[in-house]
Amino acid sequence: MEWSSKSAARAYLDTLQLCNDHKRQYGTWRVQEPGRNEFVSAIAAGMKAKLIVEVTSHVSPSTIALAAAARQSGGRLVCILPESVLEESKEVIRNSGLIDQVEFRTEDPSKLLPYYENIDFFLVDCKDQNYTRLLNLLSVNPTRSIVVANNLLGDKKGLVSYLRGKDEKLAVRSLRHPLGKGMEVTRISKQDDIDKRLGIREENGRKRKKSSWVAKIDEESGEEHIFRVPQVDWFWS
C-alpha cells in the first residue's frame, strides 16, 4: 500500500467540514482539540485502508473521521458499539452522508474481533478497561497497518508491549502524539528487510516534509478559509 497525499488531504478537509456541520446543527459534541480527528482521518485515508475498525461506546467525531477516510480509500468502517445507542448512531452517520461506508455491529467486541482478519486501521478508546484484551485479539494486516489508542493516560501501558508479542516477525513502532489526550499511534509492518526492499529509510535518516496549506470556500458564507494539513506520511513510510 503506497501513501496517497491527495486522499489524506481530502479526508482531512472532509472530516473538518462534517464535524463542524454536525456541531452547528446539533451542538451536542464537546469541542475537542483542533486537528485530532482530522489527523486520524488523514492517516487512514492516506494509507488507503480498506478495513477500518473502531470499538467505541457511542458515535463520536472520530467515527465520522474514520467513515470519511473510508469514503476516500474505497474501504469500510466497522463500528462496534452498544445496542442501546445503535439507532441514534445510525442517524448521525446517515445525516453526515456516510451510511454506505459504515457497518454497525453491536455484539461483544471480544467475541466479534476475531472474525475480522487483516485489519488495516484500528482505533480503540482506552477508557474501556478491556482495551488490552481487545489488542490481544486483533488480526492486523502484517504488511502495513495502524493502531490508534485514545485516552492512554496515567500509568496505562502503551500499545507496543501488547502488539509486539503477537508475532516476532513484525516490526512495531509507536509514537505518542501531542494531539488529544493520550493519543498513541502504532505502525505494524514486516521486519526491516521488507522495508529496505521497498526503499524505505529509518526515521532519523529521512527528511520530514512540511505541512501543506489548502484553501476551502464556505458554501454558506462564501468566505475563503485556509487550513494547514499536517504531513503525516513520514510516520507511514
Q: What is the pLDDT of residues 58-95, one digit of tens each?
A: 898 999 999 999 999 999 999 999 999 999 999 999 99
Place of cell 509514537: 175
CB 62 within 8 A of CB 19: no
Which range among 42-56, 113-127, 190-204 shows the weakest confidence by mean pLDDT?
Answer: 190-204
119 — pLDDT class (breaks 50, 70, 90):
very high
Q: Is 194 exposed, middle or buried (0-12, 13-18, 19+ CB in 10 A)?
A: middle
Q: What is the pLDDT of residue 174?
A: 80
Measured between alpha carbons, how far is 156 from 97 in angstroms, rounded to an integer?
Answer: 36
CB neighbours of 162 closer than 8 A, spacing ≥ 6?
132, 135, 136
The mean pLDDT value of the chain amounts to: 78
Measured between alpha carbons, how far is 211 from 214 in angstroms, rounded to an integer?
Answer: 10
How confident is the model over 12-41, as a mean pLDDT? 77
How do residues 133-147 score in pLDDT, each as one tens digit? 888 888 999 888 999
C-alpha atoms less than 13 angstroms from C-alpha of 150 in its C-beta half-sphere: 22
Measured between alpha carbons, how far is 141 from 119 in angstroms, rounded to an integer?
Answer: 5
Residue 99: strand, helix, or coil: helix
Q: What is the pLDDT of residue 24?
A: 74
Q: Hey, what's the cell of 54?
A: 473502531
Q: What is the pLDDT of residue 150?
A: 83
How confident is the model over 154-177, as a mean pLDDT? 68
Report the predicted TM-score, pTM, of the whole model to 2 decimal places. Answer: 0.80
Measured between alpha carbons, how far is 23 from 199 in angstroms, rounded to an integer?
Answer: 43
| Residue 206 identity | R
> Which comes out higher in pLDDT, residue 174 or 164?
174
